[in-house]
């Protein structure tokens, strides 16, 4: 084996996601220091865990779909400075055990009679839990304490902004139970509520690439998690959250377009736009089905002879739409897009961060936010008879403004935070109005529709118009807009 390379040179050469692996290393070492003496780990193997954690994703840029094996091959080929010849196989084994296929890989590693089996499994269990605690790749998880109690260990964590890591860590404590001979229970400690949206993830001192990376990773996880759930569950919330995640992911790409210009962001944006357009009719159908299933509609139409066959027809359409959704989510187009999103946030943006100094995220977004605020200030009075094109443009403006001000709120100040809250109310009101308009238009040529349903929708639309007008009035308060513009300046 050649003389070992330094971790820093390996990470540069193989485009490692340093911000993730450094955080996982810190978490793994906190766990080691808390439990090592009681579970029979000597201090002289701590450095093996440290280097395995730092390098556990080193193969990702080369082979995203099989990065664990590729990472192991890289370490075997180069060695690592600070690891002896006998330490390298142990470090490689620990790296392999963070994989979803750890049981299969474990059997391969343990074929070597010289491998210290108990040490390998225990260090692998520590890395596996630590990696799960940064499942969101947001570096938001903190170990509050580790308590050794019968019949097992209680790990208390705080993870503001992305609390799903606790569930993930509990699932990846499977190796812990086998290695330590006792279960681990992961408990989430509640976090104080953030003053601004994304306040637990972003801050005014953050660089533009890092802010973009965190926001994009948050919605990448949301999209892919709900896509998996949509394959096994019938809940319409999954399609809703996939579409919202895609919209917000694309909104981040547009907000940080100049920063992300050297990456594949534009290519991904085009593919996500096409995906969102394919999912749009399916989501419209879900919204319509939710309306038909509401108690108000059921009670109003219960005695109409056309109601029951009408509802049954749409239930059959809903079944067909679920099959279409699952076909889209298992298509090669979706899988490739999801993989490119992962490479963007795990390889390309971290490589931007490694290259050197970047301007602050606040400066990168302020000009675009200012443009949106000025456009809102220039809009006229919200009228009941807005034509569809004007209504559509206003809805797009308010939705974009909502997303961008929510992203920018923790970077800029309280006036932008308040503006984000009011833009959310306006965007929600216009979205509801849009859903009703789509439904009313679809009924124009539907001869089988029960007549009372049209009346219900028109009444709902009148209410939605009043709510939108009230939200518009609150949004366009001159004092709030001028405060927001001062903060942005």
Do residues 356 and 262 make contact, with C-beta atoms less than 8 angstroms apart? Answer: no
- Strand order of the β-sheet with 184-188 is 142-149, 152-158, 184-188
**Has residue 254 been placed in a domain?**
yes
The pLDDT score that the predictor gives to residue 442 is 84
Residue 264 falls inside a structural domain? yes
pTM of the model: 0.93
Among 112, 139, 166, the domain boundary falls at 139
Distance separating alpha carbons of residues 87 and 126, to the nearest angstrom:
17
133, 218: one domain: no
Residue with tokens 């003053």: 195
333 shares a domain with 440: yes
Question: Domain for residue 386, yes or no?
Answer: yes
Q: Which of 113, 139, 165 is the C-terminal boundary of a domain?
A: 139
Assess whether 345 and 444 both reside in one domain: yes
Total of domains in the chain: 2
Q: Are residues 333 and 432 in the same domain?
A: yes
Residue 351 included in any domain: yes
463 in the same domain as 325: yes
What is the block-wise mean pLDDT of the chain (489 residues), using blocks of 10 residues?
A: 79 96 98 94 96 97 91 92 90 90 72 78 96 96 91 94 93 94 95 92 94 97 97 95 98 96 96 97 92 90 90 93 97 97 97 85 93 89 74 90 96 95 95 88 85 90 92 93 93
CATH of the domain at 90: 1.10.3210.10
298 and 436: one domain? yes
223 and 335 in a single domain? The answer is: yes
CATH number at residue 394: 1.40.20.10
DSSP 215-273: HHHHHHHHHHHHHHHHTT---THHHHHHHHHHHHHHHHHHHTTTTTTTTTHHHHHHHHH
- Does residue 349 sit in the same domain as residue 233? yes
Is residue 364 assigned to a domain?
yes
Q: For residues 248 and 266, what is the distance between their CA atoms, to the nearest angstrom?
A: 15
- How many Å apart are CA 400 and CA 217, to the nearest integer? 19
158: enclosing H helix or E strand: strand 152-158
478, burial (CB in 10 Å: exposed 0-12, middle 13-18, buried 19+): exposed
Classify residue 175: in a domain, yes or no: no
Do 30 and 131 fall within a single domain? yes
d(CA 250, CA 268): 9
How many CB atoms lie under 10 A from the CB of residue 458? 11
The sign of the dihedral angle between the CA atoms of 103, 109, 111, 117 is negative
Q: Residue 122 falls within a domain, yes or no?
A: yes
Rounded Cα distance, 24 and 19, in Å:
9
* Residues 377 and 478 placed together within one structural domain of the fold: yes
pLDDT of res. 2: 47
- Domain boundary (92, 111, 139) is at 139
Query: Do 267 and 375 belong to one domain?
Result: yes
Say if residue 254 is in the same domain as residue 394: yes
Cis ω before 151 (30° cut-off from 0) = yes
- The torsion angles phi and psi of 294, rounded to 5 degrees, stand at -70, 145
Note down the domain range covering 96: 7-139
In a domain, 190, yes or no: no
Residue 357: its pLDDT value, please? 67
Q: What residues form DSSP beta bridges with 5?
A: 80
């Amino acid at each position: 084996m050649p003389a070992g390379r330094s971790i820093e040179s390996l990470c540069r050469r193989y485009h490692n996601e340093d911000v993730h692996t450094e955080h996982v290393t810190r978490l793994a070492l906190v766990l080691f220091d808390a439990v090592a003496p009681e579970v029979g780990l000597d201090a002289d193997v701590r450095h093996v865990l440290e280097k395995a954690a730092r390098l556990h994703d080193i193969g990702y840029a080369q082979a995203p779909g099989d990065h664990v094996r590729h990472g192991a091959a890289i370490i075997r080929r180069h060695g690592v400075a600070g690891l002896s010849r006998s330490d390298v196989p142990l470090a490689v084994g620990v790296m392999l055990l963070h994989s979803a296929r750890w049981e299969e890989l474990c059997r391969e590693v343990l074929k070597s009679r010289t491998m210290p089996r108990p040490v390998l499994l225990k260090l692998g269990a520590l890395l596996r839990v630590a990696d799960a605690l940064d499942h969101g790749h947001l570096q938001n998880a903190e170990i509050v304490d580790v308590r050794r109690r019968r019949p097992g260990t209680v790990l208390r964590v705080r993870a503001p902004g992305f609390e799903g890591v606790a569930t993930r860590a509990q699932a990846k404590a499977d190796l812990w139970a086998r290695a330590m001979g006792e279960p681990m229970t992961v408990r989430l400690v509640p976090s104080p509520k953030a003053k601004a949206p994304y306040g637990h993830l972003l801050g005014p001192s953050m660089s533009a690439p890092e802010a973009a990376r965190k926001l994009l990773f948050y919605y990448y996880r949301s999209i892919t998690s709900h896509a998996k759930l949509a394959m096994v569950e019938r809940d319409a919330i999954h399609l809703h959250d996939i579409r919202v995640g895609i919209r917000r992911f694309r909104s981040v790409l547009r907000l940080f377009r100049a920063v992300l210009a050297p990456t594949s962001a534009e290519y991904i944006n085009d593919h996500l736009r096409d995906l969102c357009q394919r999912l749009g009719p399916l989501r419209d159908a879900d919204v319509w089905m939710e309306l038909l299933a509401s108690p108000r509609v059921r009670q109003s139409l219960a005695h109409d002879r056309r109601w029951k066959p009408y509802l049954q027809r749409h239930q059959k359409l809903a079944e067909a739409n679920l099959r279409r959704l699952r076909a889209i989510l298992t298509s090669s187009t979706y899988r490739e897009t999801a993989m490119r999103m992962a490479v963007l946030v795990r390889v390309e943006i971290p490589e931007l961060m490694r290259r050197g100094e970047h301007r602050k995220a606040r400066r990168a977004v302020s000009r675009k936010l200012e443009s949106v605020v000025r456009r809102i200030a220039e809009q006229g009075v919200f009228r009941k008879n807005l034509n569809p094109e004007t209504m559509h443009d206003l809805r797009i403006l308010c939705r974009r403004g909502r997303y961008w001000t929510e992203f920018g709120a923790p970077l800029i100040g309280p006036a932008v935070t308040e503006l984000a809250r009011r833009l959310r109310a306006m965007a929600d009101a216009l979205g509801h109005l849009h859903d009703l308009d789509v439904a009313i238009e679809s009924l124009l040529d539907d001869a089988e529709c029960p007549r009372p349903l049209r009346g219900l929708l028109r009444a709902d639309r009148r209410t939605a118009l009043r709510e939108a007008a009230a939200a518009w009035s609150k949004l366009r308060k001159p004092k709030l807009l001028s405060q927001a513009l001062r903060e942005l300046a």
